Chain A
Amino acid sequence: MAFKIRTGYEGDLNLFKTPQSVASYGVLLLLLCAAPFVLGSYFLSQIVFVLIYTIVGIGLVLLSGYAGQTSIGHAAFLAIGAYTAANAAKFGVPIYIYLPAAGLLTGLVGWLVGLPALRLHGIYLAIATFAFALIVEEILARWETVTNGNEGMMVKPASVFGERLGEWGLYYLCIGVTVFVIVIAVNVIRSPTGRAFLALRDSETAARSMGVDSARYKTFAFALSAGMTGLAGVLYAHKLSFISPEMFTLALSIEFVMIIIIGGIASLRGAALGAVFMIMVDPLLVFVKDKLPALIGAITGSAMAQDKASVLLAAPGVKSLIFGLIIIFFIIYEPMGLDGRWMKIKTWFKAFPFYKPATFRRQKMYLKSERGR
């Protein structure tokens, strides 16, 4: 790992590590705020999805990257947030009430899900969260008085003080929630809570013997992560304006985990990078499906190859094939994700010409058994 040399404790307490980062994040925020004046509605809605995925990604980074707990059921939390929003909007509740309420409710559910986590770890936890997600999915389909079952339900546009929140309003709301979530995450990480998370992740036994209350911090990590996902769920519901149970499947949960795998598992910046990547996959795929067969036809000079390629690319499994390959590729070749790559590039320039790949080598553990912990 590359280490930053600290000369005082103030450096650890600052929200931003360097003056440059204040400037660069400020510019990014300004650009995002200015975007609606320049970009069309397609790009705007893509950015909204990126922001929503970023929020979920940050929740997962806190949970998996920092607290070391696994979850492959986050779609369920998103669903709870989304359905809360849909129902609250149905009764005309203003968004500034049900947005925090949905976050709190989902956080509460997350806390409940975290309770089994006290006794479970690693693989068992993954299985438990995914069982939870499947049960939630089934409840959504069956509890027709609230969720309208498999037919799905329309989500009324959000209103603030009687005013309808339009496309721009939702966009700025997403920016606001994202900034809020990021600030919370940064504050949690640099507080004693965040240090406790890290201690629990690296060795629960050691952390407990140092007096870290593992039960409290594990459930808190779950509640925090779920609450953030619930906020994202509210935005998701309003963005799509129609929700149904088959949107919140295991596949979505896996997409969420992909965000942090692609971005880098213990990095907030990675969550944003991963979200951008995940949202870009779809348009890129459309582009490739559009152009690649013609290119193959032009290179091989045969119409048959062109037809074959277009048929293959149109097959329904292409997206999941690509997703699967992306997961495997990142885990094997870039385990620190896009953020890790960014740090490597930065270090390469900083240390030029003395960059050593070993700086970032991860330690492999062949001794550790997760059994009977």
Chain B
Amino acid sequence: MIDFVQQTISGIAVGCVYGLIALGFVLIYKATEVVNFAQGELMMLGAFLSYTFIASLGLNYWLGFAACVICMAVLGMAMERLVVRPILGYPQFSIVMATIGLGMVLRALAGMFWGTDDLRIETPFSKGVVHMGPLVISADNLSIIVATALLCVILYSFFRFTRMGVAMQAVSQNMLAAYYMGIPVKKMFAAIWAISAMVATTAGILLAPITFIHANLGFLGLKAFPAAVLGGFTSIPGALAGGVIIGIVETLSGFYLPEGFKDIAAYVVLLAVLLLRPQGLFGGAALKKV
């Protein structure tokens, strides 16, 4: 039993990272109806930048964190401006492939720039361990869980209560109508990509002490798809819940099922959800007017 709880907790921590990446997908999809397949690569770049700022340049952890987030926000905007904006309005397939291409470019560049060795950063949480009765939770894991919950609340209220958040929702529903209503659609796009890149960076930096930083970290983004789908692809709390569920399923199947199931558990869940409840656990059925 104690094994089960322990595994579940580490599953939640992993799941929170999936949830954070999924949050990036959801944000962009919610606001622009584009799915960014390069989200995992953004996370990877964030982690690499944190290495450069914190380990190489010797900045304070929090200062380095802030620097990374700002740099990545700029990069996110640049990506939107250079790659995504010229093809807006084209079929979704084109945009998906363009972001896949973007991911390949980012991964290759990161590999060239930072090399293929595993890198590591020190964080204020690296040493700590929290005891809860017989359970042991590392402070790293705890920091991920707390940060994720915090981000989720912030983003949820952003979309719910701020003018900009509501404007973004309007853009997502009908770009043209939003434009006629005086919403600066292009600026909204840039902003949402910046926010999404920032979220990805946060995920990357939080993850950096647990897994090593390497160019293939971006493939973790593929695990975030099941999370996003499970959550309904448009729901911010849904993405997080989906991530946690995927994390738990994966960890438990790695622990209890034979070897090999761990890697595909997430995708089996994904296919099952798509077959049984394509709108996800949290997505409402929306009707479309022709």
Identify the A interface with B (CB < 8 A). 64, 70, 72, 116, 119-120, 122-124, 126-128, 130-132, 134-135, 138, 141-142, 203, 205-206, 250, 254, 257, 261, 265, 312, 315-318, 320-321, 323-328, 331-332, 335, 362, 364-367, 369-373
Contact A328 B175 (CB under 8 A): no
Contact A131 B225 (CB under 8 A): yes
Q: B211 at interface (Cβ–Cβ under 8 A)?
A: no
Which of B44-52, B91-99, B126-134, B138-146 interfaces with chain A? B91-99
Residues of A within 8 A of B106 (CB): 324
Contact B98 A331 (CB under 8 A): yes
Residues in B64-103 with C-beta less than 8 Å from chain A: 83, 86-90, 92-94, 96-98, 100-103
- A371 contacts which of B112, B225, B234 (Cβ < 8 Å)? B234
Q: Which has the most chain B C-beta neighbours within 10 Å: A120, A131, A250?
A: A131
Q: 5 A-B residue contacts at CB 8 Å?
A: A120-B274, A321-B104, A324-B101, A328-B98, A328-B101
Residues of A within 8 A of B83 (CB): 328, 332
Contact A364 B102 (CB under 8 A): no
Contact B89 A325 (CB under 8 A): no
Which of B157-165, B196-204, B281-289 interfaces with chain A? B281-289
Q: How far is the CB of A40 from chain B (nearest CB, A)?
A: 33
Residues of A within 8 A of B222 (CB): 130, 134, 250
Give Cα A124–Cα B89 distance, bound, in whole angstroms: 19
- B108 contacts which of A72, A120, A324 (Cβ < 8 Å)? A324
Residues of B within 8 A of A64 (CB): 93
Contact B107 A320 (CB under 8 A): yes
Residues of A within 8 A of B166 (CB): none
Contact A331 B101 (CB under 8 A): yes
Residues of B within 8 A of A134 (CB): 222, 263-264, 267
Give Cα A321–Cα B98 distance, bound, in whole angstroms: 13
Q: How far is the CB of A281 from chain B (nearest CB, A)?
A: 13
- Chain A, interface SS category: helix
- B270 contacts which of A119, A128, A372 (Cβ < 8 Å)? A128
Give Cα A315–Cα B290 distance, bound, in whole angstroms: 50
Residues in B7-40 with C-beta less than 8 Å from chain A: 29, 33, 35
Q: Which has the most chain A C-beta neighbours within 10 Å: B102, B108, B271, B275?
A: B108
- B274 contacts which of A116, A142, A265, A370 (Cβ < 8 Å)? A116
Give Cα A373–Cα B229 distance, bound, in whole angstroms: 16
- A128 contacts which of B86, B101, B108, B274 (Cβ < 8 Å)? B274
Contact A366 B97 (CB under 8 A): no
- B33 contacts which of A116, A141, A371 (Cβ < 8 Å)? A371
Q: B6 at interface (Cβ–Cβ under 8 A)?
A: no
Given contacts A316-B111, A317-B108, A372-B288, contact A331 B92 (CB under 8 A): no
Known A119-B278, A324-B102, A373-B288; 18 more pairs at CB < 8 Å: A64-B93, A120-B274, A123-B35, A124-B278, A126-B35, A127-B225, A128-B271, A131-B271, A134-B264, A142-B260, A203-B290, A250-B222, A315-B108, A317-B112, A327-B98, A335-B94, A369-B174, A370-B33
